[in-house]
Chains A and B, each alone.
Chain A
Amino acid sequence: MNFFKTTAASAAIVLMGSTAYADCGIASGNVNILGNEFGAIQALVAGAKECASSTVTIESNLTTEHRDIQVAALTANPAQYTSAIVANSSIVPLLNEGLIRPLDDLIAKYGAGIKDTQKITIDGKVMAIAFMANAQHLYVRQDILDAAGLEVPSSYEEVIAAGQAIRDAGLMEHPFAMNSKTGWNLGEEFVNMYTGTGASFFKPGTAEPAINNESGILALNTLKALADLSNPDFLTFDSNATGAIWEAGDVAIAQLWGSRASGILDDEGSTEEVTSNTVLAAAPTVGGGDTPASTLWWDGFTIAANISDEDAEATFIAMVNGIRPEVITANNDAAVWLADGFTPGPAATGVFATASAGARPYPMIPFMGLMHSALGDELSDFLQGGESAEQALADIEAAYTAAAKEQGFLQ
């Protein structure tokens, strides 16, 4: 049941479906879609809007603030939006509150084209349909590695050694970069690293934190070693900043989002020297583990619970229309699509390599968001050398515990 293992073989078979979709087969209904604002989602929503007719209204609100309004918007009855486009992490609050409906009936009726790997199944019920994937993975500059006589690293230990070698050779003072801005980004780096050790964030079956252990210390020390190879401003580096310094040719090895690849590989904002030598590789392993230290993300659509069955049906048909093969093929490079019609291009190689190496998905656990926030806020002291790894882990657990008690996960 792993998309990447099967798709790598079948990707060449692109279904250029000629099905007439002019009439999507919706009798009537109101569709209103809430989602993030980026190219791939805009393409999908445009595809869904083709179903609009005199009896079917299709509206959308694509905004970067979608996460902050989705719970309130879907709690209202009837819900403001009939569909929310979510990712592994943002589906959790909707699940926690029971705001989205199981899709099994709808899939049976209208979802013939949906692959099993696209179905996000929670406790046996399909709650979302994934349409694209993303992950952080390694970007390397082949020319710099060649100059220092190095291979593309496959573990973080090798990354650190390579960074040190590049620094010692006088090629670059700060050869490494990652999205280490305090807050969500830094939390994500720890989640990636800790996932790579194979350890679990919580004691099984409970909400009690379990990161204050050897794996946690290993993850922290690896991050610290990487931070030492980064520009001193690393705590302000978000995806935009790391993308810019990569394009400026200031770093040789970086752990960046796969979705940034097409922007980095194109000819805008960078020199030929940088783009032609940029190689995308799988995320490295850590501490002798065999899975990449990265988490896999999907984006998918859900259908609100507090709406009429008629609207839910209309929404489902329209959304499926938005991810039909023609739409995917026409927007092939906008994302790493999971639906039929996608031909993996050069920009997708990093995500594919990371997924096929067995990276694990970002956990869909109800209290993971609280852990992530605690990580993001409490790690910067340690990375700046202000406190010990043990103290940092204790702080994280304390911050998480306070939050989890407030949310009713811990007593």
Chain B
Amino acid sequence: MASAAMKRSPTLAIFATGFVILWVIIASFPFLWTLWGSFKVQGDFFSKADWTNALWGTRTIVETGDAFTTHAYSGAWIDQEFWRASLNTFIVVFFTVIISLTFGTLGGYALARSGYRYAFWLLMIALVFRAMPHITLVSGYLLPFFEWNVWGHLPTSIIVLVAINQPFTLWMLHSFFLNIPKDLDESAMVDGCTRFQAFRYVIIPVMWPGVITTGLFSFLLAYNDFAVTAMLLSQENQTMVPKIASFLGSTFEEGNVMFAVAAVVSATAPLFVLILFFQRQIVSGLTAGAVKG
């Protein structure tokens, strides 16, 4: 693409670059603002008096003697044991992604290769499943989960997140597998492989880009989930997002909003690393997968 076909006039180049720069500013400004503000006290970052306080840390200097304070971070991570929530999040996210992808690749592969009408109808039903508001689903789970004594445990939340995530995963992976030529696995089967062996030895090696992209979206769903984890996990199993929400305070008592801010910034860090790490795969994955819609 970056070849002769895409050579442009200088005006257009300036316009396009300007547009991208504008977008980058719009996309990153709230985050940078939060990052900067997380080293201030609440009176500055959420200043009602003058927003420039958040820049210079007027109240921070009054209350802590310095323009920067790591109080919010130490409060969240040490006093409030945010590390425990991060550990739980790690467990939930890790297993949700792994199980989602395992189920999803098998199912997506079958849907892409079936050729019968019911495969289409299954995909349609999966879409209808996706339309169900999560909050209704979760309220419906509560009573049976309490009665079966499975409420509050990490595995319960993991399996619920996997199930909620399946429709999207199936759709993405199905369209990805459609793009892998049928000849690949069919010729393996002509050579005497079973369907599963063909899948295991021929398809798995070439499917990673699509799987990683789908995995990114599963990851984001599990990582950012509030509706499921807030209602289905007990306090010691709480994950990051409900924990952050609990910093915000309630009608009764003022919260530690700065703890929430610091926690949000910290919660974003692993995502940075992850995206930098998988950047190439994400893009090439979608290339192969989603193009067929």
In their complex, do chains A and B touch, with some C-beta pair under 8 Å? Answer: yes
Interface residues of A, Cβ cutoff 8 Å to B = 36-39, 60-65, 68-69, 72-73, 75-77, 79-80, 134, 179, 184-185, 238-240, 243-245, 247-250, 257, 259-260, 263, 268-270
Q: Chain B residues near A240: list those with CB within 8 A.
A: 248-249, 254-255, 257
Interface residues of B, Cβ cutoff 8 Å to A = 41-43, 46-49, 59, 63, 139, 142-143, 145-147, 149, 151-152, 230-231, 234-235, 238, 242, 245-246, 248-255, 257
Contact B246 A63 (CB under 8 A): yes
Contact A38 B146 (CB under 8 A): no
With CB as the reference atom, state the residue of chain B lying closest to A243. B254
* Chain A, interface SS category: mixed
Partner of A36 from B147, B152, B252 at Cβ < 8 Å = B252
Instruction: Tell me the complex Cα distance, A231–B151, Å.
Output: 44
Nearest first, the 5 A-B pairs at minimum CB distance are A248-B48, A76-B146, A72-B142, A38-B253, A263-B254
Contact B43 A270 (CB under 8 A): yes
Q: Chain A residues near B152: list those with CB within 8 A.
A: 61, 80
Tell me whether A64 and B253 are in contact in the complex, defined as CB-CB below 8 angstroms, given that A75-B143, A76-B143, A247-B43 are known contacts.
no
Instruction: Tell me the complex Cα distance, A65–B250, Å.
Output: 11
Q: How far is the CB of A345 from chain B (nearest CB, A)?
A: 16
Instruction: Tell me the complex Cα distance, A291–B235, Å.
Output: 41
Q: How far is the CB of B223 from chain A (nearest CB, A)?
A: 19
Instruction: Tell me the complex Cα distance, A37–B43, Å.
Output: 23
With CB as the reference atom, state the residue of chain A lying closest to B138. A68
Contact A73 B146 (CB under 8 A): yes
Interchain Cβ contacts under 8 Å between A and B, 12 examples: A63-B230, A65-B242, A68-B231, A73-B146, A80-B146, A80-B149, A80-B152, A134-B252, A239-B254, A240-B249, A268-B63, A270-B43
In the complex, which of the residues B41, B145, B242, B254 has the most CB atoms of chain A within 10 Å of its own CB atom?
A: B254
Instruction: Tell me the complex Cα distance, A244–B42, Å.
Output: 10
Q: How far is the CB of A96 from chain B (nearest CB, A)?
A: 15
Contact B235 A61 (CB under 8 A): yes
With CB as the reference atom, state the residue of chain B lying closest to A74. B146
Q: Chain A residues near B230: list those with CB within 8 A.
A: 63, 65
Tell me whether A244 and B235 are in contact in the complex, defined as CB-CB below 8 angstroms, given that A63-B246, A257-B252 are known contacts.
no
Instruction: Tell me the complex Cα distance, A338–B164, Å.
Output: 46
Q: Chain A residues near B245: list those with CB within 8 A.
A: 64
Contact B254 A260 (CB under 8 A): yes
Contact A63 B235 (CB under 8 A): yes
Q: How far is the CB of A281 from chain B (nearest CB, A)?
A: 20
Partner of B251 from A79, A80, A238, A268 at Cβ < 8 Å = A238
Instruction: Tell me the complex Cα distance, A76–B151, Å.
Output: 11
Q: Chain A residues near B257: list those with CB within 8 A.
A: 240
Instruction: Tell me the complex Cα distance, A185–B143, Å.
Output: 28
Q: How far is the CB of A313 from chain B (nearest CB, A)?
A: 22
Instruction: Tell me the complex Cα distance, A121–B242, Å.
Output: 35
Tell me whether A64 and B250 are in contact in the complex, defined as CB-CB below 8 angstroms, given that A69-B142, A75-B143, A268-B63 are known contacts.
yes
Tell me whether A269 and B248 are in contact in the complex, defined as CB-CB below 8 angstroms, given that A65-B231, A72-B143 are known contacts.
no
Q: How far is the CB of B142 from chain A (nearest CB, A)?
A: 4
With CB as the reference atom, state the residue of chain A lying closest to B59. A269
Contact A269 B42 (CB under 8 A): yes
With CB as the reference atom, state the residue of chain A lying closest to B47. A248
Q: How far is the CB of B220 from chain A (nearest CB, A)?
A: 22
Tell me whether A62 and B250 are in contact in the complex, defined as CB-CB below 8 angstroms, given that A72-B146, A270-B43 are known contacts.
no
Other CB < 8 Å A-B pairs besides A79-B146, A134-B252, 4 of them? A65-B230, A69-B231, A77-B147, A239-B249
Q: How far is the CB of A174 from chain B (nearest CB, A)?
A: 12
Q: Chain A residues near B251: list those with CB within 8 A.
A: 179, 184-185, 238-239, 257
Q: How far is the CB of A133 from chain B (nearest CB, A)?
A: 12
Contact B234 A61 (CB under 8 A): yes
Q: How far is the CB of B283 from chain A (nearest CB, A)?
A: 38
Contact B231 A37 (CB under 8 A): no
Q: Chain B residues near A257: list those with CB within 8 A.
A: 251-252
Q: Chain A residues near B46: list those with CB within 8 A.
A: 244
Q: Chain B residues near A63: list those with CB within 8 A.
A: 230, 235, 238, 242, 246
Contact B235 A62 (CB under 8 A): yes
With CB as the reference atom, state the residue of chain B lying closest to A299. B252
Q: Chain B residues near A249: list those with CB within 8 A.
A: 49
Q: How far is the CB of A70 from chain B (nearest CB, A)?
A: 10
Instruction: Tell me the complex Cα distance, A245–B48, Å.
Output: 6
